[in-house]
Every structure is written in structure tokens, then in C-alpha cells.
Structure 1
């Protein structure tokens, strides 16, 4: 489209409307975006290849590095894949704790998303409430793992750290606090006339289009398809708890917001159920040999942004032979954006709102 008379704008990684380490080259016809070309590579570290040159234990610290907003699902998936290679069965206590970790991570990610979506349209006050609620979750992680953002809590074989004495009481307190604040944020955003006007009808995806474009997670469910790995391919003990899978109707940016807030409440319910099953003092980990057997390990989890899969090949020894990660955000930043821009009248003011509604994790492309 070069030389076609369109205005070309570089929507770079320093722009507050871009969701992180990524940029877009935009072709504008007036204020309408007619083409968007993604420019990745701002955080390329070659995570897969780095993991192939580190030991099984060292790779726990590598497994979550490409999505700072939702590291826990990636950490859990890596541990599940390694356990698949070893054919190891972890203790029931560890399964329940991993579920609590995963749902705490999902809530923290969705709260962070509500901060970004609120900020993208100027609703800063509820965005700050969301950050305050997320902060309590980060403090909770720090108390049980020693780390606020990256946790090293789930490791091959189970849970790394023993539980603090007041684990159940402290977790219940955090759940109740987050539930109250999340409801405040939800009401302040979803009920706001400006929020509705900016998001309703914007960035629509049908079920068929979402599937064809490779979309999973909340964006797919907002289009109306009730698909969630925790239900359709259960792992850990998700088949032993009761929860609903929220879906939307129109598949627009507003529906994606509604689905995520509903998911927060479902995650809080899962945490409460899992917490009832935790037995303090019981085993949390089985020891695995330093040298892995020959074989393959595959794990799929329902992360905050959709289905994440990791495939590891072992030829025996202290390191994996091959590690392959399935990106959750690749379709959100590429095929979905192309689809929406080519079919809707997307203005330059709409573009960052659409990106925020998709909630991608850009470093996920640079793995």
C-alpha cells in the first residue's frame, strides 16, 4: 500500500495505547485505520532455545518469562509437561494448591486488564481500584512464595514451598477483599455510559470467525462458544469443582469485558472450593530424578488469555532436547486485528481500545 496516498503512522512500543513490547505500522485514510501491520521483536530472547540449554529445574524460571501478566499458568503447564515425561503423579494437596495458584493468577491478570481497558478510554479511577485489588494478590503470592510477580511455586513434582500456618485464613481474607473491589470495578466500568459507547459494537467476532482465526480463551467465549479446557479437557482437579463458563452473545469488545469480570467471580468460587480441600501439613511434592527418561511431555492449560500448550521432547539426561510453546496471543495480535480492521470502520481512537479488549501479551510472540 506504499505510495497509495494513505498516511502511514508508526504506533510504537512507547505509545500508552500499545499493550507492551510491540508496535504497529498503521495505514490511515483520514482517521480510519485501513491496514495494521504488527512489528514484533522488542523482547526477543529465544526462550525455547534457551530452555533447551538449561536443566529441568532451571527451566522453571524460564517457563513463565514471556508473559509477565499471567506467569502462573505457564509455570504450571511446564511442570505438568515434565511430570508427563517422568510419568509422575503429584500429591492431591499439590493439585489443589496449583488450582488456587492458577485462579489467583487469572484474577490478577483480569484485574490488570481492567486497568488497561479503563485507562484506554480515560476511566482512570476504577482502573486504579483494579490495581489496588491486584496488589493484594501480589502480596499473597509474596507471602507464600517470596516473590510478587514470578513465583517459582509450582515445580516438577508438586509445590516447592511449605504452606504458612495461617494459609487458609489469609487466603480467605484476600478472596473476600478482591471480591468486593472487583465488583466495584465491574459496576464502575460496565455501567458507565462512556464505556458502553466506546466498546459496544466495536471489534466484533462471530464464533466461526474466532475459530477460523485461531482464537481461544475469553475472546472466543465472548463470541458465544462455551469452550474451556478446565471443563472440556480437565487437568489437576478441575473436574472436582463446580463453576460456570461465562459466554457473550455479540462477540464485541463490551462482551469481552463482561466475560472477564464474570470469570473473576468464577475463579473466586473455584479458590474457595479448592481451599476447603487443602490439608496443611500433608505432602506437597514428590522427588523426581535429576536425569529424565526418554519420552515426550505435553500439557494444555486454560490461561487467562486462552489455551496454552507446551510440548517437550526428552532424549534422557539433564536437559530437554526440544521445547515448543503454543502462543495464546499470536492470533490476537495478527489475524484478529487484520480481520477487524478489514471489516469494520476502525478509527485511530478505536484501535487501542480494540487491542486492550483482546488483552494480548506481546512478549508471547517473541518466545
Structure 2
């Protein structure tokens, strides 16, 4: 008779990042083995995109990571622009950065809501989801949608900012800034939170570099890697911002990184609003069926709230991409890292560890 039991956490479970499942073997409350199962939601993005024209395909990429779709839209658009030799206007680049940093800010609020709920601090998700809703309202005003924005389009953006949006954005940023001290008291400065997260899910810096970990996982090991600074795109090279890091490599360090990144995103957006210039928001594109991608290949990188990712795209002089490949941090975070990290951990820490890694399952089952 076996002394261990096997259970599944997910795919529909409040302590699971997205629709995925963890097959756990337990000896009491201690995890003996952990196997990740994905594919319970969106899947097959690469082939779906290859079977649509590039102007049709832009509606698909936002589904790769539902909680933060905009970096994927921008990366796809920049890949198409690189292959087709398109150059976007300065205003379009500014509007893209505003959108990307808004997406990063709401993604960190959503992370905080999930982590707070996993610890049992129910006031944290109530505040964080409420504050995130103000950002979703801004997205609705900008793009017409709250979740799948489909706003960043090859050649620029789909529409300009509505009247009064910059002022409303500044009001929301100020409101969130004023809320941060309350989050510090209830969450980041809470001794119970620190005790639950410190020493949990430790990542070694050498391991992080060797396996290609990214985002808060890498910066939580004290390594200041960020594509926005290391390989600037859009107008990031014109903006002043810091790359937050922390030491310890545990779930607490990753929480500290995300807290500091919220401040930096607000800082970036204020600079962009001050620099907004008039101009076109979309360059002239060929008609839908006449937009043929020249023969060539490109690899485009971006920095999302979860870390660096990239698209490898190949054109063959048709209106379709010959090859589209997604490379994101979720694969190594969910397999290489999570399955190893859970062994020896307690069942009560599974949600905390998983939330700290920032995993989007559709990015794996791509």
C-alpha cells in the first residue's frame, strides 16, 4: 500500500495561474512529485496565425496571455513592420508605450489580488481588482474593449486617444499612487505576508541565467535584465526609468520587484503624457488582400510584466506568414522551474509559488 496520494490542483482552481493543472503526489502535506498539464484554454496560436493573413492574425495574438494582451499585440505589429519595412509615427509609438505600461500596471494589480487571496488577505483582492477596474475603463475608452483590446495594429494604432483621456489617465495614476501606501500597510508591510513568502520558491541567480528565466523571477535574483533597457524599442530609449531588483530569489523578492515596477510604470506614463506630440497614428497600408509580406525573417523581443518574450516571424512574399513562433517565459517557468521548485514544498505554498512566477498557459500550448 502506497504512503502517498495523488491529487490535481486545477484546471479550475482559484490557486492556479490560468487554466492549467498540476498533478501532485503528496506524502502528507509535502509534495513528492509535480507534473504540469496545460492546454485547457486557448491553444495552437502559431498555426492559427500562419493560416490567416497578417491583418487578420493581429486579432489572435492578444489571446496568448489574457491578463496582459497588449505586449503581444505590439510585438506582432513590430514584427510585421520589420518584415514589411514599415515605420510608425512618433505619436503612434507614444500611444503604444502608454498602452503597454497601463497593461503592466493592471497586470501587477491582478497579481497582487491573486497572491493576497492565496494568503487569505481578502481585502487585498477587493482593493486591487477595484483599482484595476479603473484601468480597464481607460482601455475601454481607448480601444472600445476592456480585456482584448486589439488596439495596436501593424503600422500604428487603430484610433487616437479620445478627448480628455490624458487628463483622466493622470487622475487614475494619482489615485493608484495614493493607494500604494495602503497596499504597503496591508500587504507588502504585513509580517504575515513576509513570513509566508520569504524562503519560499527560491531561485538561484546562476540557475536563472542558465535556464533563461525572465522578468521578476530574474530580477528577484538581483539581475537587472529588461528588454526595454537592454534592447530598447518604440521610445523607451527616450524615457527615464529604473530596473528594480531584489535579493533572495524567493517569492518575497519577486513581490518586491513587482511593487517597485508599479512605481516605474507610473513614472513612464507621466513622461509620455508630457511628451505627446500631434501626428498620424497609422501609416498607409496596402489593401487587405494585397498586403504581401516580403521574403525574410525577423525576431522581435518585448518585456511584459512576466518577463522577456519574442516572436520569430518569416515572410515568403505572400499575404500569410510562412512561420510564426512564440518564445515566452511561461514555458521555462512552468516546466523547468515550477516542477522542480514544488518538490519538497508544502501543499499550502503551491498557489504562492505559482503566482510568484507569472505563468500564462496559452503561451506554452501555443
Q: TM-score, normalised by structure 2?
A: 0.96
The answer to whether the 8 Å contact 1:186/1:261 transfers is no
Query: Which residue does the alignment assign to 1:28?
Result: 26
Equivalent runs, 1:255-334 vs 2, <5 Å: 255-280=253-278, 282-289=279-286, 290-334=291-335
Equivalent runs, 1:127-166 vs 2, <5 Å: 127-166=125-164
Work out the CA distance in 1 between the residues paired with 2:42 and 2:2.
32
SS of the counterpart of 1:329?
A: helix
The answer to whether the 8 Å contact 1:86/1:288 transfers is no
Work out the CA distance in 1 between the residues paired with 2:303 and 2:9.
31
Query: Which residue does the alignment assign to 2:171?
Result: 173
Query: Which residue does the alignment assign to 2:364?
Result: 365
Q: 2:66 aligns with which of 55, 65, 68?
A: 68
Work out the CA distance in 2 between the residues paired with 1:44 and 1:163.
30
Unmatched runs of 5 consecutive residues or more in structure 2? none
**Cα deviation 1:281-300 (Å, max 9, x = unaligned):** x2111123322222223210
The answer to whether the 8 Å contact 1:84/1:298 transfers is no
**What displacement does 1:272 show?**
0.5
The answer to whether the 8 Å contact 1:126/1:185 transfers is yes
**Cα deviation 1:15-66 (Å, max 9, x = unaligned):** 2211121001111111101210111121253111010111111111101112
Work out the CA distance in 1 between the residues paired with 2:167 and 2:354.
38
Stretches (4+) displaced over 6 A: none
Going from structure 1 to structure 2, the CA distance change for 1:182 and 1:71 (only over 3 Å counts) comes to farther
The answer to whether the 8 Å contact 1:228/1:245 transfers is yes
SS of the counterpart of 1:33?
A: strand
Report the aligned-residue RMSD.
1.4
**What displacement does 1:159 show?**
1.2
Between 100-109 and 353-362, the greater mean CA deviation after superposition: 353-362
What count of residue pairs does the alignment treat as equivalent?
A: 362
Work out the CA distance in 2 between the residues paired with 1:247 and 1:184.
22
Work out the CA distance in 2 between the residues paired with 1:300 and 1:252.
26
Work out the CA distance in 2 between the residues paired with 1:81 and 1:251.
33
Query: Which residue does the alignment assign to 1:353?
Result: 352
The answer to whether the 8 Å contact 1:300/1:309 transfers is yes
**Cα deviation 1:60-94 (Å, max 9, x = unaligned):** 11011121111000000000000000121110111
Unmatched runs of 5 consecutive residues or more in structure 1? none
Going from structure 1 to structure 2, the CA distance change for 1:54 and 1:182 (only over 3 Å counts) comes to farther
**What displacement does 1:223 show?**
0.8
The answer to whether the 8 Å contact 2:52/2:320 transfers is yes
The answer to whether the 8 Å contact 1:217/1:306 transfers is yes
